[in-house]
Amino acid sequence: MKKVILGLSGGVDSSVALKLLKDEGYDVEAMFMRNWDSAANNDILGNPTLTNDVCPQELDYQDALKVAESLHTPLHRIDFIEEYWNTVFKYFLTEYQKGRTPNPDIMCNKYIKFKAFLKEAERLGADYIAMGHYAQVKHEKNKSYLLRGADDNKDQTYFLCMLTQAQLRKVIFPIGHLQKVDVRRIAEEANLVTAAKKDSTGICFIGERNFKQFLKNYLPAKPGNMVTIDGKVIGKHDGLMYYTIGQRKGLGIGGSNEYKSEAWFVCGKDLEKNELIVGQGHDSIYLESNWCYATDYNWICDAPKEDYEYTAKFRYRQKDIPVTIKYIDDNKIKVIYNGLCRAVTPGQAVVIYDKEVCLGGAIIDSVYYNDERRKY
């Protein structure tokens, strides 16, 4: 029997993944990753008095333990706190300091779930690792392909775009062929304690919390002016790092006889002036672009060809956009859209697809409308 080490998070998806692996006859062990420790991380900063920093990780571990026991599976508990801090959280903070909007889940998959975890699993004698992601993998003799999950609404290949071929060769996604409703049903029929557990949201492994307060613990806030497209001061912002392109909620702009009744959106950032640029209308032209530069590209299987039409996602759950790419150098690509796309945001990933195959992705660096660079 092939030995598989499953990442058991204490959620319903990984719980059902464990049950399915057991049903298929694999020799399965589970591993719970502990990647965040408030006290240890505060010590790194030399500030043991950070506030509002409570993580529900221990409750997740207790749920994972109950699932493992009910399915008669050994459960290992492993700390990747230092690895998470150095490869994911430092990146997260650096991107926010640049005024960008990072995606820590992508880096967590790259460096923690499919690198540090894989290394530890191989130490335990694993032939494969498994995760409860909504994605599929096709293993051929000399190459493996990452395919979209069967549930379009839950597909998580966007977050897996930075995996390497070597990592993917060792991966099984037991629930990738299922719809979420079927995962819940299987969990209920198996009487798993996680069957009705709410899906986790928030920052990868840090969890749900007051985002502004949490970020303030690690980066100093720098309030400034909120200005219209033509430069008129209309309010104050709490710090550019708290806002993302296309954001509507939380701007605090009241009604005014001087402007239309349309909603306000974040349309840009001026880091030099520390100004947040806002405009009215969901479909404002200032939120549209037709090409971007992206860096640090990673191809999982086959590298995309120049001038061939693929599709791309610029954010999770976004509808696919037809695109072509051009290679600028060995680190940078130009992504050209077939039409306009709204709120393409530096720091996020552009993920390239060839029909159902996820080819990989890159980090959005700068955004353009024709020859004009957007102030994103």
Active-site residue set? 108, 204
Closest CA to 316 of 236, 168, 204, 231: 204
Strands (E), 83-241: 128-130, 135-139, 144-148, 171-172, 224-228, 233-237
- Give backbone dihedrals phi and psi of 271, rounded to 5 degrees, phi first: -65, -35
Strands (E), 109-173: 128-130, 135-139, 144-148, 171-172
- Taken in order 83, 84, 85, 88, is the CA torsion positive or negative? positive
Q: How many CB atoms lie within 10 A of CB 208?
A: 13
- Give backbone dihedrals phi and psi of 325, rounded to 5 degrees, phi first: -130, 155
Closest CA to 191 of 67, 302, 88, 78: 67
CB burial of residue 320 (10 Å; 0-12, 13-18, 19+): middle
Cβ–Cβ under 8 Å, residues 297 and 162: no
